[in-house]
Each structure stands twice: as structure tokens, then as C-alpha cells.
Chains A and B, each alone.
Chain A
Amino acid sequence: MSRLAVDGLSLRFGGLEALAGISLDIAEHALYAVIGPNGAGKTSFFNCLTGYYRPSAGTVSLDGRDITRMAVPDVAALGIRRTFQNVRVFPRLSAHENVLAGAHLRSSASLVGTLLGTPAMRRAERALADEAQRWLEYVGLADKSRVLAADLPYGMRKRLEVARALMGQPSVLLLDEPAAGVSSVEREELVAVIRRTWESGVTVVMIEHDVELVMQLATRVAVLQRGRLLVEGSPEDVRTDQRVVEAYLGRRRG
């Protein structure tokens, strides 16, 4: 059974067709990569999946349930978490608080409990705080827990974003260009984190430009070009597909 099923997804902005009739299935526990040249519609695709954009046509289903027109927080409540292409951590909160923010849906604090500071309340807060710290360790940011997110270098902010997403205990994790703009050392760390997360049972969908990374990690690949699905298959199939080569490198002359 597929986790995420997309059928005939189209998205128009006035005269611009960002997505045109995309249909694909993301299987449970896949490490699915979406690649394609710039402007292919990859981020728009993510935005449709998560509810930021309302598609002009088509459907998105999670475990068979139609989530096409759901609001963003409701989609998140179903277990989908994401990171953003232009890393959106909460700048004036510490790394620890950033991760804690990801736990919003997991606690159900009552107003009275909050105001009175009941022991149950304190215990729950303590547990969350400890877990947040452990997630920071998981992505290698344990010693930065008090640092403001705005003061962290780019690569660390990317990892922080992942920790925050993981704190929400997602069943589906969408990563928008996780390896963009990071040094090769940081890239290795990120790859390790992604692999660990995937192996723990999370379905991972990732947008990436780095073809090597995709070949390294992905179980299945979809190639988008100008809003259309060009090719979809295993990494090897995609790598050798003539259309993909042309899309990236252009047509051979002569």
C-alpha cells in the first residue's frame, strides 16, 4: 500500500503552470528522491503535499485518505513533517527551543495545568526537554542547545531543522534540498542522519540537486521537468534514461 499517492496533480499561478498532471506513488518506507532542473516544480510539489498550496487539479492521499484540501496544521497532525529549501528555523529561539517547538502536537497541556505548574505538568515538560536534547545529540548539535538559531552557521541550522522535524515523530519526512550549500563534511553528517532516520522506519521524501547523493541513498527516484513527471523508477533506471540525460545536460548535437 502506498503511503503517499499523488494523482493528476496540477498547479497554476495565473498563466504559469507550475505542475502539470503529476501522478506517482510513494511506498511505505521508501527513501524517495525528487530531482529535476531548477524551476521544475519540486518545491511547489512539496507545498501541495503539505497544504501550503491548493492544487488546481488532482489529489494527494495519505494512506488512502484524501488530504488535498487540508490545511497545513491538519496535514502536520497526520504525521507529515518537512524542512525548507531556505532553512526556516526560528531565529530568535535557542536550538533547544526550536526542537521543542516541534513537539507541539505531542503534548496536550491544559491551561490550568500550565498556570498552576502541577507535578504532572512539570514531569511532561521535563520529558519533552530531555527528548529535545537527545534529538539535538542525534543530529550532532548537543553542545549548541542554548545558542540562538540565528547565530548558528548554515549547516548547523539545516541539521537543527531536521531535529525539529523529527521531534514531531513524523511518519513521513519531506526534506527540501537537505544537502544544498553545505560543505562536504557536513554533507556526510547529513547523509548519516537521513539514513539513520530512514532506517528507523520513517518514509523519507527528498528533493535534491545532488545526483550523487540521490544515487547513494534513494530507493526510488522521480524526475520532474517544467512541472511534468519525466521519468520515475529505480535510481539506476533513472540515471541511464536518455530523457533525463537530455533534461540535465541538453541534447547532443549532431
Chain B
Amino acid sequence: MSWNVVFPDIVAGLFLGAFLALIAVGYSMVYGILRLINFAHGDFYMAAAFVSYAVLGAVTVGTKVNWGNVIWVGLVTMIAGGVLAVCVERLVYRPMSRAAILSLMIAALGVSQILENGVLNIPSWGSNYLPYPVTPPSNGFSVASVHYTWTQLGIVVIAVVLIVAVYWIVNHTMLGTAMRAVAQDRAATTLMGINTDRIISLVFFIGGALAGAAAVMASLYYGQINYLMGFSIGLQAFTAAVLGGIGSVAGAAIGGLMLGILESVGTGLFGAQWALMFAFGALVLTLWVRPTGLLGERVGQRV
């Protein structure tokens, strides 16, 4: 297992990790604030990818990248992802605020099915792997005799910027303090005069927007989209969030990175079909050995 073989996998893992981190942060924030695994979160990512596919496809001539287009479509997609997340929160989760967690999880499953099968049943899309309308240029640079494109670098940079921005919001603004307060004790926060409903919606919006950003980036990177892309990556992102410590933005980011590298190296060594297996293995190991994850808070027992 020489360095030359592993190194490209590690770098590929960084890219995968960037997407995972973006989605994991959204997962983590929603979990922190509602104590709910939003199974539909991966499907927000998928739906956003399809939205970007449709919009970009409508405005693109040929397959050459017009970066201006990509940027504003990216923003539109982020907004679309955020709006979708908020709609689901308002229509499904908020009316169920007093229900048992079991019912909430099943409802999340239902939403996931609606999104996946909604896309599946659109005639021009179906279950196909649809090629993304634009192909990023392949000019780039070389490190250790492997070629990386500027696009890939740009993706990582943007992901980092977004995550840092969210981290800053959560930890260094009044808004973020309100979010953390709601996550810790919703009743008390309401008594402080904070509109917890709006905060919760905002958290969903941010999570959905991050998923939207990840969607555009991943679509550019992998070149194709499919109605099931959310399922697999959703699970991986959840694993990443748990790995890093659920409820923590930094944790989700680090978890995403670690898991991306782990999966990439693992599939490089053993084959691509084992990707999900690695994710689950990592998940079970983490939950067994250190359930709070690397940076996670202790979820206390209130009696």
C-alpha cells in the first residue's frame, strides 16, 4: 500500500468530504434543534440537484461552462433547497411538535419517499442517470503527479467558506446564540421572548441551503444526477455528523472530512461497492465506542 496509491484517494476523499460536510452540517443543526433525524435531508440535496439541473439546462447552450450562469444557478439552488426544507418543516414537522419521536421519524420517511418518488415519476427524468448540462473544464494543476482541476479546488474553497460562515453565525452572533438556546431548552427560550418557531425554520433553511450548494457542487464534480443520490449520501452525511459529534457544526465538518477520506481510501483498496459498508462500519464503531462523537455535547438525561 504505497503512498502513491493512497494519496490520490486521500485527496479524492477531501472532495467527497467537502460535500459530506456541507450536508452533515445541515443534518446536525436540525438534529440539534429538534432532536430529529430528518431522513428527508438527503432528499433535499437530491431535489436541489434536479432543480439546478432543470434551470441550468434551460439556460445553457452546449456544454461549456458559463461560470456566471453556474454561480447564479447555484444561488437559486441554495434558495430552493432552503425553501423546500422550510416548507417540509412548516407542513409536516411543526404540526407534529408534540408527537412521539417515532411518529416524527416515520413522517420523515414519508417525506423522503414523496421526494424520491416524485422525481421518479416525472416522465423525462425517471430513474435515469441524467448527465449534468455542463462539464467543468479540465485545466488545472498537478500535485504528486496527479492532476487536479481548478474547479475541484474551487469547490473545496467554496465549501470551506460556507461552513466557516455557518460556524461563525452559530457561534458568534446573537442569532446563533438563539439557535443554540432553542436547541438546549425550547421552553425557556420561548419565555425569553424569542420566537422559537422562526428560529427553527431558519435552521431548516440554512440546512437546506447548504444541501443545495452541495448539490450543485457534487453535480459538477460527478457529472450526473439520479433520483436515489440523496439516499446514499444522506446516510453517509448522517454518519459523518455522528462521527464528529451530532449537534456541533465543527464536528459535522470534521466528521464529513474524515468519513470522506475513510471511504475514499477504503473503496480504493477494496472496491466501490463497499462504500456504504464503510460508512456503516464507522457509524457502529463510533456509536459503540464514543456515542457523543469527537466534538459532541453530552446529551443529558432529564428526569
Q: A-side interface residues toward B, CB under 8 Å?
A: 13, 43, 47, 52-53, 84
Shortest CB–CB separation between residue B14 and chain A, in angstroms? 35
Q: A52, B300: Cβ atoms under 8 Å? A: no
B146 part of interface (Cβ distance < 8 Å): no
The listed residue (B300, B301, B303) touching A43 by CB distance below 8 A is: B303
Residues on B with C-beta less than 8 A from A53 are: 301, 303
Q: B-side interface residues toward A, CB under 8 Å?
A: 300-301, 303
* Complex-state Cα separation, A53 to B301, whole angstroms: 8
Q: List 8 A-B contacts (CB under 8 A).
A: A13-B300, A43-B303, A47-B303, A52-B301, A52-B303, A53-B301, A53-B303, A84-B303
Residues on B with C-beta less than 8 A from A13 are: 300
Question: Interface of chain B, helix or strand or loop or mixed?
Answer: loop
Known contacts A13-B300, A52-B301, A52-B303; can you find 5 more A-B pairs with CB under 8 A? A43-B303, A47-B303, A53-B301, A53-B303, A84-B303
Residues on A with C-beta less than 8 A from B303 are: 43, 47, 52-53, 84
* Complex-state Cα separation, A58 to B292, whole angstroms: 27
Q: How many residue-residue contacts, CB under 8 A, span A and B?
A: 8
* Complex-state Cα separation, A52 to B302, whole angstroms: 9
Residue of B nearest to A14 (CB): B298
Residues on A with C-beta less than 8 A from B301 are: 52-53
Shortest CB–CB separation between residue B103 and chain A, in angstroms? 12
Residues on B with C-beta less than 8 A from A52 are: 301, 303
Residue of A nearest to B300 (CB): A13
Residues on B with C-beta less than 8 A from A43 are: 303
Shortest CB–CB separation between residue B135 and chain A, in angstroms? 52
Shortest CB–CB separation between residue B213 and chain A, in angstroms? 35
Shortest CB–CB separation between residue B252 and chain A, in angstroms? 23
* Complex-state Cα separation, A52 to B303, whole angstroms: 8
Residue of A nearest to B298 (CB): A14
Shortest CB–CB separation between residue A205 and chain B, in angstroms? 16
Shortest CB–CB separation between residue B129 and chain A, in angstroms? 45
Shortest CB–CB separation between residue A93 and chain B, in angstroms? 13
Shortest CB–CB separation between residue B284 and chain A, in angstroms? 24
* Complex-state Cα separation, A13 to B301, whole angstroms: 11
Residues on B with C-beta less than 8 A from A47 are: 303
Shortest CB–CB separation between residue A44 and chain B, in angstroms? 9
Residues on A with C-beta less than 8 A from B300 are: 13
The 5 closest A-B pairs by CB, nearest first: A52-B303, A47-B303, A52-B301, A84-B303, A43-B303
* Complex-state Cα separation, A140 to B156, whole angstroms: 67
* Complex-state Cα separation, A13 to B163, whole angstroms: 31
Shortest CB–CB separation between residue B92 and chain A, in angstroms? 22
* Complex-state Cα separation, A47 to B303, whole angstroms: 8
Shortest CB–CB separation between residue B114 and chain A, in angstroms? 27
* Complex-state Cα separation, A84 to B300, whole angstroms: 17
* Complex-state Cα separation, A43 to B301, whole angstroms: 13
Residue of B nearest to A50 (CB): B303
Residues on B with C-beta less than 8 A from A84 are: 303
Residue of B nearest to A72 (CB): B303
Shortest CB–CB separation between residue A46 and chain B, in angstroms? 8
* Complex-state Cα separation, A47 to B300, whole angstroms: 13
Shortest CB–CB separation between residue B235 and chain A, in angstroms? 31
